[in-house]
Structure formats: C-alpha cells, structure tokens
C-alpha cells in the first residue's frame, strides 16, 4: 500500500511541477505534462505513440471495471439478493441483463456532464461519487471486522491483527476515520475548478451518494426466498 501511494504521489507531483496549477486539467493533465516533457528533449514525435499506449491501457482497465462489479453482483444474485431477472446468463456465462442494467445506469449518471460548466468539473464529480461509494463499502468492512472479532473470535483466519481487541479497534478506527475524512473531502471541490452553483454541486454528490446507498438496502429488504438459485439450476 505504501509503494502504491508513493507511486501515485510521484506521478501527481510530476504533473504539478511542470504545469501551473491553474492550467491543470483533470481530463488531459497527463497528456499535457507528457507533451511538455517530450518537447524539452525534442521527442515530441513520441507523443502519439504514448497516447495510443495510454488508450490501450485504459481500455484494459475499463474492461476490468465493467466485468468485475457485474461478476460480483451475479454472485450475490445466486444467493437470492437480486431478482431472477438479473440472473440470466448467455452461452458464454456472462450475466447479460446485469451488463445492460449497468450500461443504462452509467449512461444516466454520465448526464451530469450537461449540468456542469466544464468537462473537468464533471469528471471530478463522477470520480468523487465513485470514490465515496467505494469508501462506504470500506466503512462497512471495518465495522464488520470489529463485530466479527467479538461474535466469531475462533474462526480460523489467514491473517489476524495482533492484540485481539485493542489491535482490531485501533486499526479499524484508523480505517473508519480515514474513510469518513475522504468522503467529506469529496464535497470540497478543488479551487481551480469552476463548479457553477455550489448548491447543485453538493446536491449532486449528496443525493447521488444517498441513492446509491439506498438501492441495495431496499433490494435487500424486498428479497424473496424464490430468488435463490438452487444448486441444480446453476
């Protein structure tokens, strides 16, 4: 985790050193930095090649982003946490209905671009919402870790935090505090971004986060025994 954090910080700082902060674009900041670096050494001809490699890497990354959540959702649907409609598989074993539903949701959410003054602002909001939703999951994980230490202390684990109770409370509390702090930071836009109306900005983040939290809770409360796929049906 420390190495990953260091590499991300190094990349961000390298862009910040080259490009003035008021000119940094969240969308094209990396390409602008590469263009400045390469032009200094007479290697501008390398820019299209690097851009192509970045596109290939982005496509591969998006592929994992698309399939990872869908596969996880299908696993939960098998255990009866989603309606039977989402349990449909094609001949290649892919949950097609979940893929289509994901595409519809992402398309609707992407319309936030229409209400923002710049692409960078829209990109920031979408990134902030996705990060906040991700951190909500970690908050639940930290709470679950504390609870399981008391309710199932003798279950074999691959790794155990030293000092059964104090150690768990210390580590989980740090994780909870960091997650809550990061969620709050998402509501504070960077100073160089033009967000337009602060009311619209905060409303999009708050209600977007609220809806994303409410949907799984509502589905969980409405689940039925008939939603469970029997072993012979899988």
* pLDDT < 70 stretches in the chain: 1-2, 15, 18-29, 112-113, 192, 195-196, 230-234
Q: Can you tell me the distance from the alpha carbon of 123 to that of 153, in angstroms, rounded to the nearest whole number?
A: 43
- pLDDT in the model for residue 176: 93
How many CB atoms are closer than 10 A to CB 95? 23
Residues 26 and 65 in one domain: no
Maximum Cα interatomic distance, the chain, rounded to a whole number of Å: 66
Task: Indicate whether 56 and 37 sit together in one domain.
Answer: no
- Asked if 16 and 78 sit in the same domain, the reply is no
Same structural domain, 34 and 89 = no
Judge if 4 and 62 occupy the same domain: no
Q: Give the DSSP H or E segment for 207.
A: helix 198-222
Whole-number pLDDT of residue 230: 60
Distance CA 43, CA 136 (A): 44
Phi, psi of 218, rounded to the nearest 5 degrees: -65, -45
Pair (72, 126) in one structural domain: yes
Same domain, 93 and 70: yes
Residues 6+ apart with CB under 8 A from 171: 161
Domains in the chain: how many in total?
2
SS (H, E, C) 8-76: HHHHHHHHHHHCCHHHCCCCCHHHHHHHHHHHHCCCHHHHHHHHHHHHHHHHHHHHHHHHHHHHHHHHH
> Are both 143 and 185 inside the same structural domain?
yes
**Same domain, yes or no: 104 and 7:** no
Residue 11: φ, ψ to 5°: -65, -45
On whether both 90 and 171 belong to a single domain, the answer is: yes
Torsion from C-alpha of 118, 119, 122, 124, nearest 10 degrees: -110
Structure confidence at residue 142 (pLDDT)? 92
Range of the domain at 4: 1-42
Whose CA is closest to 17, among 36, 44, 31? 36
90 and 120 share one domain: yes
Whether residues 154 and 85 fall in one domain: yes
Which pLDDT value is given to residue 173?
93
> How many Cβ atoms sit within 10 Å of the Cβ of residue 168?
19
> What pLDDT is recorded for position 177?
93
């Amino acid at each position: 985790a420390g190495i990953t954090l260091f590499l991300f910080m190094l990349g961000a700082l390298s862009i910040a050193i080259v490009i003035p902060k008021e000119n940094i674009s969240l969308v094209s900041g990396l390409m602008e930095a590469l263009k400045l670096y390469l032009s200094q050494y007479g290697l501008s001809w390398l820019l299209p090649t690097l851009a192509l490699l970045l596109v290939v890497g982005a496509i591969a990354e998006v592929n994992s982003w698309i399939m990872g959540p869908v596969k996880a959702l299908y696993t939960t649907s098998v255990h009866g946490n989603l309606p039977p409609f989402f349990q449909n598989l094609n001949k290649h074993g892919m949950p097609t209905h979940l893929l289509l539903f994901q595409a519809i949701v992402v398309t609707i959410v992407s319309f936030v671009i229409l209400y923002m003054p710049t692409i960078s602002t829209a990109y920031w909001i979408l990134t902030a919402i996705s990060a906040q939703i991700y951190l909500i999951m970690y908050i639940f994980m930290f709470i679950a870790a504390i609870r399981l230490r008391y309710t199932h202390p003798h279950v074999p684990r691959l790794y155990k935090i030293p000092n059964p109770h104090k150690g768990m409370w210390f580590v989980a509390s740090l994780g909870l505090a960091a997650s809550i702090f990061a969620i709050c930071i998402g509501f504070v836009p960077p100073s160089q971004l033009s967000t337009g109306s602060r009311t619209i900005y905060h409303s999009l983040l708050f209600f977007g986060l609220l809806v994303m939290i409410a949907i799984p809770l509502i589905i969980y409360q409405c689940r039925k025994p008939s939603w469970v796929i029997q072993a012979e049906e899988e």
